[in-house]
Structures are given as C-alpha cells and as structure tokens.
C-alpha cells in the first residue's frame, strides 16, 4: 500500500493536515531533548520528513522503512535502509534517540517493534512517537470525525489512491489506548512515559526514556 501512495504521500499529508504535520514533526524532534550531534533513528521513516527535521536540528540520522517504494520517493539524502521495524539491522545501544511518525498503527508486530526501538537505544536514550489523535472537546471531535472519516478518503482518492485513504481512518482502530500503550512501552524497556496532545488532540506525541543506567 505504501509503495502505491509513495509518489503523492507528502502532498496528501499537507492537504489532510492543513500543513500542521510540519509543526507536529518539529515538536516530536524537539521532545527528544538531545544535544546536537546525537544519533537518531527514524523508524518507519517513509519519505524521510521526520528525518529531515531531525537533521536540521543537528542530529546524525538513520532511517528505516519496510516499503522500497516510499524509500525511493524520499526527498532527503540521508542514509536509509529497507527493513522491518521488528528487526532493525543495527547494533544494540548505538542510538541516542528514536523517532517514529504515524506508523505505530501499521505495525503488525507492535510489541516486537517497540522492543527493537528499546534495544537500539542506549540506556537513558529518548523515544518520541507521533501518532494520529482524537480531539477531546465534543465540537472539535465531531468536525474531526467528519473530516477524517469522510473528507480525507475523498481527498486521498482524488490525489492518490482511494483504497489507501479509506484504510487511513480504519487503521486508527489498531492504535492501543493510552494506558495500554504505556504498559507496552514499559514492558519493552521504557520508563517516564508521557503523552502530549497536539493541536487540541488532532495528533498525539508519546515520549519515553530507555530504562537503565546511562
Ligand atoms: C503513514 S507512513 C509514515 C511515514 C513517516 N514516518 C512520516 O512521518 O511521514 C507509515 C510508514 O510505516 C512503514 N511501515 C509499516 N510497517 C512497517 C514495518 N513493519 N517496518 C518498517 N516500516 C513499516 C510504511 O512503509 C510507511 O512508510
């Protein structure tokens, strides 16, 4: 599916988020709270938009994704490799930070992917996961539901691939509840798990720290 939508992926993102995703990506990278020169792994990097933000922030970035098509459509020149997020081809503890944008709900082996993120991080390393949210205020929620469930599939269908953008709202069902995700992160080896709602809950940012003595 991501091979198919790769060529128009970034255009559709801009349209369906009104460009807000750029702000959310900056916030995600900043949430790592790491100094310049840190090594950051972008899991399920897609076309590398989070990677580019991380690079501009002064980090050394490596990106991984399952889809060859989406890696080919990348706009960045940063190093990437094709692999499953449940088996990252890098040594344990080499990363200071891991970012993961809008991919959690696509992982069929979520526990394995979270464990891999923990494995590649050094103790004390930071994780920042950006995901679709759900506004808490009733009025915003109604507008969001109409936009996400009705308008996004139409926009995505017109500009890219209809089936893929019908899947997008359905895929939210695969997201764990905040409490369940906190539990999964703790099991994977993280502590200090915090969740922040962005733009009134249109998206959510989950940050955590790899357990262990730095
Ligand atoms: C919605 S895109 C997000 C891309 C990018 N992170 C961003 O912020 O725009 C989800 C990405 O997850 C990737 N993906 C899905 N399952 C994966 C897996 N098991 N391992 C690695 N990447 C995966 C897809 O190929 C796709 O590029």
> Over the stretch 48-70, which tens digit does the pLDDT of each residue have?
999 999 999 999 999 999 999 99
> Over the stretch 127-139, which tens digit does the pLDDT of each residue have?
999 999 888 788 7
Mean pLDDT, residues 78-86: 96
Mean pLDDT of the chain: 93
Give the bridge partners for 63, in sequence order: 42, 80
- 133: which residues sit within 8 A by CB, 6+ positions away? 197, 198, 201, 202, 203, 204
63 C-beta closer than 6 A to ligand 1: no
In the chain, how many domains are there?
Answer: 1
The domain that contains 112 carries what CATH number?
3.40.50.150
Cα(199)–Cα(164) distance, rounded to whole angstroms? 25
Mean pLDDT, residues 186-209: 96
Confidence (pTM): 0.94
DSSP 108-158: TTHHHHHHHHHHHEEEEEEEEEEEE---SSHHHHHHHHHIIIIIHHHHHHH
> What residues make up the domain containing 191?
2-210
49 C-beta closer than 6 A to ligand 1: yes
118 C-beta closer than 6 A to ligand 1: no
Q: What pLDDT score does 78 carry?
A: 93
């Amino acid at each position: 599916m991501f091979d198919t939508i790769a060529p128009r992926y970034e255009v559709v993102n801009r349209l369906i988020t009104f460009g807000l995703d750029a702000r959310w990506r900056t916030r995600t990278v900043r949430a790592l709270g790491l100094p310049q020169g840190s090594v950051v792994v972008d899991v399920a990097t897609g076309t590398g938009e989070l990677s580019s933000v991380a690079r501009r922030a002064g980090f050394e970035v490596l990106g991984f994704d399952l889809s060859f098509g989406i890696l080919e459509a990348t706009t960045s020149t940063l190093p990437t490799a094709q692999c499953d997020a449940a088996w990252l081809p890098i040594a344990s503890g080499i990363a200071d930070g891991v970012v993961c944008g809008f991919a959690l709900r696509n992982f069929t082996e979520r526990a394995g992917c979270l464990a891999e993120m923990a494995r590649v991080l050094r103790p004390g390393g930071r994780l920042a996961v950006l995901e679709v949210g759900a506004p808490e205020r009733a009025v915003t929620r109604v507008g969001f539901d109409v936009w996400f469930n009705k308008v996004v599939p139409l926009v995505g269908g017109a500009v890219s691939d209809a089936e893929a953008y019908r899947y997008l709202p359905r895929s939210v069902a695969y997201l764990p509840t905040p409490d369940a995700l906190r539990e999964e992160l703790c099991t994977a080896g993280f502590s200090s798990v915090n969740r922040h709602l962005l733009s009134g809950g249109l998206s959510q940012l989950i940050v955590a720290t790899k357990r262990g003595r730095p």
